[in-house]
Amino acid sequence: MPDSSSHSPSRLDSMNLPPELPQVPHDWYRPEGTSEEAARRYFEVMDRRRSVRFFSDKPVSRETIEWIVRTGGTAPSGAHKQPWRFVCVNDPALKKEIRAAAEAEEREFYERRATEKWLADLAPLGTDSNKPFLEIAPWLIIVFQLAKTDDGGMVYYREESVGIATGMLISAIHHAGLVTLTHTPSPMKFLSQVLGRPDHERPFLLLPVGYPADDATVPQLARKTLEEIMVVNRGDAGEDGTR
């Protein structure tokens, strides 16, 4: 085995870099049963996840939201910069203000900004500029991405990192027995203004969080099949006929 301590000079040798972090034993999660069984159980839970627009005003504890946000915060990120902020709102007056500003942007979108093709794609889902769930849902989680760290440092792959964290946040919401909806009013700068966030925090996504209404419905739609979303290697059929 070659000696890792002997190497050719490189530009890294002339840099004043911080020391490497100490290594600790990895405490990896061991599910009950096989990995295949665990993966299937997780899928069966997540397959019941739907975007819900009809919420109950039944209270959700702050502790529940804190555990959900902690889960989002476990996401990987570029250089471990963790470029996210989860602003959680349960104040009725503030939710009303957010709804008014969001609906103003949504009316502009539906009446002027959206192309006919975009509106045609949205029509089967029954969406419009009215967003009552922004007041009815007991919590709103507004996800912000950080353009720099709080002390002015660099961040890397911030959109990818925040996207992963948001996906984990949505999974945690579902596992808590709650529902949500990915709401993306465009533009979203009003969220920074309403919530008084600093300039280096950029709104990424808004998630209303709560229990579904007793009479909640969702569109009858189908997800793409495994064959449509998964390719193995170069996509050639294997010996067992799978791809």
The answer to whether position 145 is within a domain reads yes
Check whether 237 has a pLDDT greater than 70. no
The answer to whether position 59 is within a domain reads no
Tens digit of pLDDT for each residue in 174-215?
A: 999 999 999 998 889 999 999 999 999 999 999 999 999 999
Tens digit of pLDDT for each residue in 151-171?
A: 999 999 999 999 999 999 999
The answer to whether position 89 is within a domain reads yes
The answer to whether position 13 is within a domain reads no
The answer to whether position 69 is within a domain reads no
Mean pLDDT of 127-140: 96
Please report the sign of the dihedral spanned by the C-alpha atoms of residue 142, residue 147, residue 149, residue 154. positive
Q: What is the mean pLDDT of the chain?
A: 93
Its domain, for residue 128, covers 75-213
CATH code of residue 181: 3.40.109.10
The answer to whether position 229 is within a domain reads no
Q: What's the pTM value of the predicted model, to 2 decimals? A: 0.91
14 vs 119, higher pLDDT: 119
The answer to whether position 178 is within a domain reads yes
Question: Shortest CA distance to 139 belongs to which of 231, 197, 64?
Answer: 64
The answer to whether position 143 is within a domain reads yes
What is the helix (H) or strand (E) element at residue 208, kind and residue range? Answer: strand 201-210
Residue 13 CB: number of other CB atoms within 10 A?
9
Task: State how many domains the chain has.
Answer: 1
